[in-house]
Amino acid sequence: MPRTAEHSHRSPTLGKGGAPASAPQGRMPRQVIRASAPEYSDSLVSDRPSPALTLGVLFAARRIARLHALAKGGGPVTLCATARRAYAPGMASGREASRMSLLVAGSIGIDTVETPGGRADDVLGGSAIYFALAASLFTEVRVVGVVGEDFDMNLLAPLRERRIDLRGIEVRPGSKTFRWHGKYFGTMNERETVSVELNVLGEQGAPVPEEFIDTRLVFLANTHPQIQRTCAERMASAELVVCDTMNLWIANELEELRRTLGCVHGLVANDEEARLLTGRSDLVGAGREILELGPRFVVIKKGEHGSLLVMDDDLFLMPAYPTARVVDPTGCGDSFAGAMMGYLAAKGWHDRATLRSAIACGTVVASFVIESFSIEALAATTPADIKRRTAELAGMVRFD
């Protein structure tokens, strides 16, 4: 998928703590959307692999050593409560073993997108939207995000149809919804932000409802690293916490980002971000240097060139699915992460083989997203579609 598939409604002008200096600090009145919890009668990933070395065992020794490691150019790495929890996921019993709860905290917005093939005005967007729809193909999903009072709630109908839990969406009185207008050029490897209106995203983040505190897997979509860390520390029951980031935070909030990376088990970033964070041009070296900051694994997205998984003693390369129809790359990166995390949640445990399969699922789901504007193709994608395209991808890369 094109490099611009990494677009995740990245906010360009947030101040310290994720809000401008003029943002109100008090808790504002809030409304929440009530939805019943999802139920699943079948699974895209029903075949469970044989037990393998868990990531928790793999990283146990290094985890202790990291408590005394030095961050590059800074003081000792400080691991937050989330990272201090033992990460040794095992098999749960019964139905819980096959499906683990998954939460995404991210943006919800309205997009206007121009590409060489057309234009879409005022369509649903945001990292939380793409992530949730992709992940819902595999497991139950809980969404935490905030919109303004001008938001048309009917736009969330595709999420309700997937039985995504929307109780964590705050409708903030007196605020306006985040808006982004982007324009892609040529092969869509280049993108220009025509305009961006932070609106409610320039204020304090949405709180995590008490009903969501027991979530087992958490994805922190791109926002200020301090807001990400606050969310991670609140999720006391989480067994796997993964985050995204962007160049803005690497350049302007590096120490905050380093602290946040000490709170997570995994990082999903693109190649440009990995190089900027470490100062290294080779992605393998960059990935392994990021591991020293806290994460157990790093997934580096390379746009149309696929992705790279970096672990302590393991590397895995996944090519992109070569779709012939490229309409709009917006949201592909978030959908990749959503499908990856959804697959891990569906499996109920996490070893390196499962993580590789999860990356393949992320690659395939992103290949559907790029074939339409907004969420149209993603909302129409079915588990059968994913199985078919995953088999095609496997055939393309098999060489033995």
Spatial strand order in the sheet of 190-197: 118-125, 109-115, 178-185, 190-197
Q: Which domain holds residue 161?
A: 3-9+28-38+51-397
Note the pLDDT tens digit of each residue in 250-293. 998 999 999 999 999 999 999 999 999 999 999 999 999 999 99
For residue 303 the two structure tokens come to 């746009």
Say what angle helices 127-135 and 332-347 make with each other, to 10 degrees.
40
Over residues 103-115, the mean pLDDT reads 96
Note the pLDDT tens digit of each residue in 147-186. 999 999 999 999 999 999 999 999 999 999 999 999 999 8
CATH number for 142:
3.40.1190.20
Is residue 246, in this structure, part of any structural domain at all? yes
Query: Residue 166: helix, strand or coil by DSSP?
Result: strand
Beta strands, E only, the chain: 31-32, 102-105, 109-115, 118-125, 141-148, 165-172, 178-185, 190-197, 217-220, 240-244, 266-270, 297-301, 307-311, 314-318
Over residues 210-224, the mean pLDDT reads 93
What are the C-alpha distances in Å from 400 to residues 28, 192, 340, 395, 396?
Answer: 60, 43, 26, 11, 11
Structure confidence at residue 313 (pLDDT): 87
Q: How far apart are CA 136 and CA 163, in angstroms?
A: 8
Band the pLDDT of 399: cuts 50, 70, 90: confident
Is residue 107, in this structure, part of any structural domain at all? yes
At residue 7, does pLDDT exceed 70?
no
Q: How far apart are CA 372 and CA 123, in angstroms?
A: 12
Backbone angles phi, psi at 194, to 5 degrees: -70, -45
How many structural domains are present in the chain? 1
Please tell me the least confidently modeled range out of 19-28, 144-153, 358-367.
Answer: 19-28
Is residue 204, in this structure, part of any structural domain at all? yes
Is residue 19, in this structure, part of any structural domain at all? no
Is residue 217, in this structure, part of any structural domain at all? yes
Which of 275, 271, 382, 315 lies closest to 1 in space, CA to CA?
271
Is residue 135, in this structure, part of any structural domain at all? yes
Is residue 18, in this structure, part of any structural domain at all? no
Is residue 15, in this structure, part of any structural domain at all? no
Note the pLDDT tens digit of each residue in 329-348. 999 999 999 999 999 999 87
Q: How far apart are CA 34 and CA 142, in angstroms?
A: 12
